[in-house]
Chains A and B, each alone.
Chain A
Amino acid sequence: MRISRREALAGAAALATAAPQLAGAAVSPGKPFAGQTVKVMVVRSSQYAAQAKRLPAFEAATGIKVEFVDVPFGSMREKLAAEMVAGSPDFDLATVMDVWIPPLIDNYFGPIGADLKQRGVDLGRYPKAFLATSLYKNDVYGLPSRCHIQLLFYRKDIFGELGISVPKTWEDVVSAGLKVQEKTKLSGISIPYGRLAGQNLMVWYNFLWGAGSDVFDENMKPMFNNAAGLKATQDYVDILLKYKLCPTGATSFNEGDATTSMVQGNSAMNPCWWHIYNRFAMKDSAVGLDKLGFAPLPTYAGSAPTTYTNTWIYGVNKNSKVREAALEFLTWVSEPEIERSILIDPAENDVVATQWSNLRDKEVNARFRGMHNFAADALESTKKSIPNIPEFLPAVDVMEVAMNNIATGQASVADAMNGAAAQVARIMKRG
């Protein structure tokens, strides 16, 4: 990923403003790794572009040259498989999404728990839900890098006009959606029900948890098709099929398409990751930030709010030839001040914060209208997250197909979910 000189200078300036003493803080004294090059595979996103702009500062402090190579989200899975099978030392660090991590443990990523301790990295600075996907086999295999929580985004202006209060339960969502469709030309809510990387399950997990069910039980047997689970699934698809609150095309929307519908002014609500905030700030958005409202994700009446978390970690390639330098970079880039400098940089609109200090930071919350406090609240009360097992990946594939079949009317909730549970059980059994 190449950054223009202008961007690099701006990044350095922003960093200097936010954390003037940072450059020296987290790095080993005396530039012991000067001259080495560290290559990092990152998923293409504005957050890593922002980090890339700050790299020159790191280089100046340590003499280590860092090269970001960005891979598009759509190709990441294949790329990782190829790198892993080849045992390649090409990349020293890589950002990987939670569900893709388990197969990489010890096959591509090596443990770094001892190193982090030695470098004085305090793991308590991360919310448990974010840190969970870095922990395997009683050791630490990476650090949270890009973490997302879910929020309900809605059209503040329309809700104001129609006198709709912010939905707190899924029933509220249905009545809000119906009112919107009655009085305006917009669709009530935009949710992806199409197939891509399990995206049609992200909001559904919250329905499951709110109803008292889960994907697996304590013995790692699928339980999402128990009575509570089936009810949760029915409620989830009723929004689309019974109340018809979604735009045409929602049945094959992926997450990006669903958000586009709201960004282009065609839907009034979109439950999605906090990072879509960025999209409303962009030039091609038909809905400006002033019209945007957000709230914690709704839940069932009487249940505590939950959020599914989507986390990416920075892992270290066990075949890396410059491991110490890579760790040096990892320590530096995960310093809270680096994250903070991106959050308060007026040139960036990236909302990702992975650490408590930044989530509760006054300036950050002022800039993003309290979003991070919402996030912190949700993280404190969320007890559940995805299971960290390698079989989760094919299980997600099975579940998303089932969900899509229900949404397109090809199968009933019971048939699709029971079939999926049977398939998942088989996957788990193959061991």
Chain B
Amino acid sequence: MRRRPTRVYVWKALEWATLAFVGGFTLFPIVWMVMTAFKPVELIYHLNVLFWPTLDNFREVFSVRWEVGAKVLHSLVIALGTVVIAIPIAVCAAYAFSRKQFRLKRAMFQWILLTQFIPGVAIVLPFYLMFRNLGLDAIPEETEEAATIDGAGLAGLLWHIIVPMARPGILTAAIFCFILTWNEFLFALILTRTRVVPLSVGIMSFRLERGDLWELISATGILIAIPMFFLAMMIQRHFIKGMTAGAIR
């Protein structure tokens, strides 16, 4: 069955146009904010696309006036700390849900999932539980039995067998958790003292009585977003699989 060439070409053209639009729509804000971060402050309110880039804004945010360096550290500590605490807890719980049968299992699982819907809360447990398909279920039961027969206790079982095999899933969840915590705004705003402020709240310091300092906001924004980009790249394959697997069965 031969198709008329013109129809094919029109479709193709539309497709490419749409792809280009998607790329542009996705990248435009990012590119513009990156450009603003490198613009000299006199050009912030102008729409120049061509200019001599400068590192002044980054120098300024790291200076003692704003201490963004300290805030990066705080964000790191908070995010890493959360991951370090939450992931082991989640792994244990996920293992229990995945492998064991017990009363109230369904109810507890529902309750944990429910907590994800509470406004203003971003804890990793439900996410991990959704991701558990990736790792734990794929681990063959035989390996577990073999390990138990060999005399490994529960802790040994977890540490030596389950964790290594579920590593991609755990890693993905850990990174997901890190990203969420890094970007957390509401809780950080209310809960932190003025000294120990993470980046997400720190960015509000650039909103002054007299207006917003856009060039510093974008410079800090880049600093906030860059680690996230790298992490997102790292997990993108697992992320995709996790999304598709965890959603439906």
Q: Let me know if chains A and B touch directly in the complex, using CB atoms closer than 8 Å.
A: yes
A284 touches B204 (CB 8 A): no
B211 touches A74 (CB 8 A): no
Q: Which of B29-72 contact A (CB under 8 A)?
A: 41-42, 44-45, 63-65, 67
Closest to A3 in B: B64
Question: What is the interface size of chain B, counting residues whose CB is below 8 A from a CB of the partner?
Answer: 24
Closest to B64 in A: A2
Q: Report if A73-B209 is in contact (Cβ < 8 Å); known contacts: A284-B41, A284-B42.
A: yes
A360 contacts partner chain B, Cβ-Cβ < 8 Å: no
Interface flags, A232-249, vs B, CB<8A=1, else 0: 000000000000000000
A78 touches B189 (CB 8 A): yes
A78 touches B208 (CB 8 A): no
A90 touches B193 (CB 8 A): yes
Cα A284 to Cα B211 with chains together (Å): 13
Q: Which of B194, B206, B212 is the one whose CB lies under 8 Å from A79? A: B194
A69 contacts partner chain B, Cβ-Cβ < 8 Å: yes
CB distance from A81 to the nearest CB of B (A): 9
| Count of CB-CB pairs between chains A and B under 8 Å | 70
A260 contacts partner chain B, Cβ-Cβ < 8 Å: yes
Closest to B206 in A: A72
Q: Report if A78-B209 is in contact (Cβ < 8 Å); known contacts: A4-B64, A284-B42, A284-B45.
A: no
Q: Report if A259-B205 is in contact (Cβ < 8 Å); known contacts: A69-B195, A71-B194, A264-B45.
A: no
CB distance from B133 to the nearest CB of A (A): 40
Q: Which residues of A contact B215 (CB under 8 A)?
A: 284
Interface flags, A44-77, vs B, CB<8A=1, else 0: 1100010000000000000000000111111100
Q: Which residues of A contact B208 (CB under 8 A)?
A: 44-45, 72-73, 256
B204 touches A74 (CB 8 A): yes
Report the interface size class on chain A. Answer: 20 to 34
B2 contacts partner chain A, Cβ-Cβ < 8 Å: no
Identify the stretch in A102-110, A171-179, A275-283, A392-400 within 8 Å (CB) of chain B at 4 or more residues: A275-283
B64 touches A73 (CB 8 A): no
Q: Which of A18-45 contact B (CB under 8 A)?
A: 41, 43-45
A345 contacts partner chain B, Cβ-Cβ < 8 Å: no
B209 touches A45 (CB 8 A): yes
Cα A2 to Cα B65 with chains together (Å): 6
B207 touches A2 (CB 8 A): no
Q: Which residues of A contact B205 (CB under 8 A)?
A: 44, 70-72, 75
Q: Which residues of A contact B210 (CB under 8 A)?
A: 255-256, 259, 275-276, 278-279
A82 contacts partner chain B, Cβ-Cβ < 8 Å: yes
CB distance from B174 to the nearest CB of A (A): 30
For the complex of A and B, list the 9 residue pairs with the smallest distance between their C-beta atoms, beginning with the closest.
A256-B211, A72-B205, A74-B207, A2-B64, A284-B41, A73-B209, A264-B45, A69-B194, A72-B204
Give 15 CB contacts A-B under 8 Å: A2-B67, A44-B209, A69-B194, A74-B207, A75-B189, A75-B201, A78-B189, A254-B211, A255-B211, A256-B209, A259-B211, A260-B211, A279-B210, A284-B44, A286-B42
